[in-house]
Amino acid sequence: MSAISPSFFKRGTDFLGCDVPFLCGGMTWVSDPALVAAVCNAGGFAALACGNAPVDIVEKQIAEIRALTSRPFAVNLITLSPLFRDQLAAVCRCKVSHVVLAGGLPRPDSIATAKTAGVKVMCFAAAESIAKMMIRNGADALIIEGMESGGHIGLVSTTILVQEVLFAYGDSIPIFVAGGIATGQLCAHLFMMGAAGIQFGTMFAVSEESRAHPNFKKAYLEAAGRDAVATPILDARFIVPSVRALKNKGLEEFARLQLDLIPRLNDGTIGKIDAAHHLENFWVGALRRAVLEGDTDHGSMMAGQSVGLINSVQPVKTILETLARDTESELRRVGELISLAEAQRHKD
């Protein structure tokens, strides 16, 4: 009997241009050209993380990926970055097939600029209202990422987003699901519910091809799901989202930074935008120390709650093959249960 998963995969693979609709998200300092190319060459899809990288670096990394793979890939841009518009222009100029717009609410003109250049636009939707806005603004696909994920998070869980967004809009636009997912078994059920594909972060951060420091990977492998906690935002004037990361001294330092900034906000020596930049710069530096230098005590160990389900460092190819195999197995199991129930119903 032929595999049944391709019938569930088709919408996602057609949109992405890959073999299996499993995505590696754009993780700062982690999703570099080598990891992106490895995922794409293994049949999946990946996004290059740009952050605040200068345009010449973005163009250089796009060229590096193309030297390593002929497969389609995406570039992940942070819309709040001061370099966003120049980066977007570079993506269009380089004719990258897909762009992921993250870190804010993409404006209609930004989406239109990419689409006019022939770039497919994927936007995050952390709530139903945002999903409706992104569809109205012209997004080609959505990524719904629950608060179980690592890094900057929203306020809504994956299960709620599936019901609010996937069930409501999945027929009209490809929707990719992320946050707290680490097994093919769960992927199968998300595909059956209408997902076009699944995005992962934490799992690929500890892959063999990930540039992350051995100390960083070791901490991930030893962590339980409950160790990945969300940072509290101590003042509503801090216009930044919470961050989910492994508990360490770095989280305590982030709290102290907020306490230091509050009096400055009160006396007007700093504004909300500058305060937000201070907080974001903290994460950029702390994340670099953790990923590249292995500082697991003071660095930012951004991780999703799925970290407790990951117990070994594996090649990207093995990760994708296991996900596809287990997805197929679960689809078959459910199909057999339905067939047995139908047979019993007719018998009764």
* 166: DSSP letter: I
319, 202 in Cβ contact below 8 A? no
What angle, rounded to 10 degrees, do the helices at 316-347 and 33-41 form?
Answer: 40
Domains within the chain, CATH numbers bracketed: 5-200+315-339 (3.20.20.70), 227-305 (no CATH)
**CB count, 10 Å around CB of 209?**
21
Residue range 130-140, pLDDT digits in tens: 999 999 999 99
Predicted pLDDT of residue 318: 98
Q: Above pLDDT 90, what percent of the chain?
A: 86
Segment among 66-75, 209-218, 244-253, 334-343 with least mean pLDDT: 334-343
Residue range 155-187, pLDDT digits in tens: 999 999 999 999 999 999 999 999 999 999 999
Residue 2 has pLDDT above 80, yes or no: no
Residue 1 has pLDDT above 80, yes or no: no
Cβ burial 52-72 (10 Å sphere, 16+ → b, else e)? bbebeebbebbeebeebbebb
Residue range 62-74, pLDDT digits in tens: 999 999 999 999 9
Q: Above pLDDT 70, what percent of the chain?
A: 99
**pLDDT band at 343, cuts 50/70/90?**
confident
Count CA atoms within 13 Å of residue 71 on its CB side.
23
CA distance 261 to 32: 33
184, 329 in Cβ contact below 8 A? yes
Predicted pLDDT of residue 317: 98
**pLDDT band at 276, cuts 50/70/90?**
confident
Residue 253 has pLDDT above 60, yes or no: yes
Residue range 77-128, pLDDT digits in tens: 999 888 999 999 999 999 999 999 998 899 999 999 999 999 999 999 999 9
Predicted pLDDT of residue 54: 96
